[in-house]
């Protein structure tokens, strides 16, 4: 019965003079999620975004897509009338109730808004008149202004809008309004969730994956590509840089104490990631780290990995329990892919007893053994990076 949606946004409505940036980003993200689903027309008008749907569109699918657009607070299926004349409006609201609520066994309240203050009837009058009309046409209805089961909203602007259903959107800020960051994306559960969360605040993301062929398989890489695709359903297109990390890892493995391998490897991942970020206009790094989850995520270890880069490192999951992360992974549909059993490069080279409280002094000292070749290996890794466009 609906041919359109009214999209409401809250947080972004208060951004003063920059408001149009937020609205445009929101409109673009809406267009992006709907782009393969038909000819939708997305327009912004007076602090609202309207979506007109193509004939034969799928309502559920459309709502599902809109629930992935950060910045949307409410998704309201709406009936739009080209006229604002009272008689046809009244009748249309009656027809709306007739079709939408066939048994009409509910209490209701009218709410009205005038976008156009020249409209001859005030908002309270619209409510009273419309309520009276509905009660007359459907005597089985009851009014309850305090706790109505159904609120029927009428907005009179250049056209008239009638709606009663409000579907909750994801909230957050539209992607594209907060700069770009580089996500360190592994095949695990955490980093896809971290990417989702940071982009919920409006951040555009690119991603980098370190793989170590032949120690990690093509399928492990495919898994990460699949995860990037799942995350991009929320974040919009992602540029995924794939770094061949094998030579760097082998060299560290050869030269450094094995219980320090993970920390030193992670330091080199951060360094390489920072270089890519700087080269591609990313303003920070994002990881899926969470305090205490594994040996490399104690405060000591985090301090050691953090030390090598100057860019801010955002860790949206830092204080989350694993179960909370799993819950989000399930919600955003990355969990099933994340638990597929392909080795990622860290699990191959992990020591049996990794240090949990690395001392910076010791780590820096161990890294001296790498002096001869490490810069060259890092450069080669950067030069041979492969970049995939995921959408």
Q: Which residues bind Mg ion (CB under 5 A)?
A: 186, 188
- Residues at the interface with ligand ATP (CB under 6 A): 184-186, 188-191, 208-210, 287-289, 293-294, 296-297, 344-346
Closest distance to ligand ATP from the beta carbon of 276 (Å): 11
Closest distance to Mg ion from the beta carbon of 346 (Å): 6
Q: How far apart are CA 352 and CA 293, in angstroms?
A: 16
72 binds, among ligand ATP, Mg ion, none (CB under 5 to 8 A by kind): none
Any idea what DSSP says for residue 122? -
Closest distance to ligand ATP from the beta carbon of 166 (Å): 35
Q: How far apart are CA 172 and CA 75, in angstroms?
A: 14
Closest distance to ligand ATP from the beta carbon of 339 (Å): 10
Q: How far apart are CA 77 and CA 72, in angstroms?
A: 13
State the first-to-last Cα distance of the chain, in angstroms, to the nearest integer: 31
Which residue's CB is nearer to Mg ion, number 152 or number 329? 329
Cβ neighbours, 10 Å, residue 105: 10
Per-position b or e across 282-313, b if 16+ CB within 10 A of its CB: bbbbbbbbbeebebbbbebbbebbbebbebeb
Closest distance to Mg ion from the beta carbon of 347 (Å): 7
Which residue's CB is nearer to ligand ATP, number 11 or number 343? 343
Which residue's CB is nearer to ligand ATP, number 296 or number 337? 296
Beta pairing, strands 41-45 & 160-163: unpaired
- The residue of the chain with the least Cβ separation from Mg ion equals 188
Copy the structure tokens of residue 214: 């032949």
Question: If DSSP codes are grouped into helix, strand and coil, which group holds residue 266?
Answer: helix
Closest distance to ligand ATP from the beta carbon of 353 (Å): 16
Unique residue bearing structure tokens 């005030």 = 122
What are φ and ψ of residue 76, in 5° steps?
Answer: -115, 110
CA-to-CA separations, 322 to 14, 291, 301, 308, in angstroms, rounded = 35, 10, 18, 27
210 binds, among Mg ion, ligand ATP, none (CB under 5 to 8 A by kind): ligand ATP
Which residue's CB is nearer to ligand ATP, number 78 or number 346? 346
274 binds, among ligand ATP, Mg ion, none (CB under 5 to 8 A by kind): none
- The residue of the chain with the least Cβ separation from ligand ATP equals 188
Which residue's CB is nearer to Mg ion, number 135 or number 351? 351
Which residue's CB is nearer to ligand ATP, number 110 or number 193? 193
209 binds, among Mg ion, ligand ATP, none (CB under 5 to 8 A by kind): ligand ATP
């Amino acid at each position: 019965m609906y041919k359109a949606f009214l999209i409401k946004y809250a947080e972004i409505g208060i951004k003063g003079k920059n408001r149009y940036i937020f609205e445009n980003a929101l409109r673009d993200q809406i267009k992006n999620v709907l782009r393969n689903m038909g000819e939708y027309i997305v327009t912004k008008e007076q602090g609202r975004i309207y979506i007109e749907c193509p004939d034969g569109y799928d309502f559920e699918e459309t709502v599902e897509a809109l629930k992935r657009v950060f910045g949307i607070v409410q998704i309201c299926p709406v009936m739009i009338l080209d006229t604002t004349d009272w008689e046809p409006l009244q009748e249309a609201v009656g027809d709306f109730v007739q079709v939408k609520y066939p048994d009409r066994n509910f209490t209701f309240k009218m709410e009205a808004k005038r976008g156009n203050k020249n409209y001859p009837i005030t908002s309270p009058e619209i409510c009273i008149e419309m309520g009276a009309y509905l009660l007359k046409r459907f005597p089985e209805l009851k009014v309850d202004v305090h706790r109505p089961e159904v609120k029927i909203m009428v907005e009179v602007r250049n056209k008239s809008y009638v709606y009663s259903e409000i579907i909750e959107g994801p909230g957050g800020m539209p992607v594209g309004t907060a700069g770009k960051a580089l996500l360190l994306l592994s095949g695990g559960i955490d980093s896809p969730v971290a990417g989702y969360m940071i982009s919920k605040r409006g951040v555009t993301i690119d991603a980098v994956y370190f793989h170590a062929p032949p120690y990690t398989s093509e399928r492990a890489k495919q898994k990460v590509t699949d995860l990037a695709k799942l995350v991009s359903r929320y974040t919009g297109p992602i540029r995924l840089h794939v770094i061949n990390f094998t030579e760097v890892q082998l060299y560290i493995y050869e030269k450094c104490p094995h219980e320090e391998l993970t920390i030193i490897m992670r330091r080199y991942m951060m360094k390489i990631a920072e270089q890519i970020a700087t080269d591609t206009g990313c303003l920070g790094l994002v990881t899926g780290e969470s305090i205490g989850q594994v040996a490399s995520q104690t405060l000591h270890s985090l301090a050691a990995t953090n030390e090598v880069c100057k860019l801010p490192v955002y860790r949206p999951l830092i204080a989350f329990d694993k179960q909370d992360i799993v819950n989000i992974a399930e919600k955003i549909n990355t969990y099933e892919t994340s638990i597929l059993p392909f080795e990622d490069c860290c699990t191959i080279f992990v020591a049996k007893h990794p240090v949990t409280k690395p001392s910076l002094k010791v780590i820096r000292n161990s890294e001296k053994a790498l002096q001869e070749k490490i810069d060259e290996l890092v450069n080669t890794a950067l030069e041979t990076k492969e970049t995939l466009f995921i959408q």
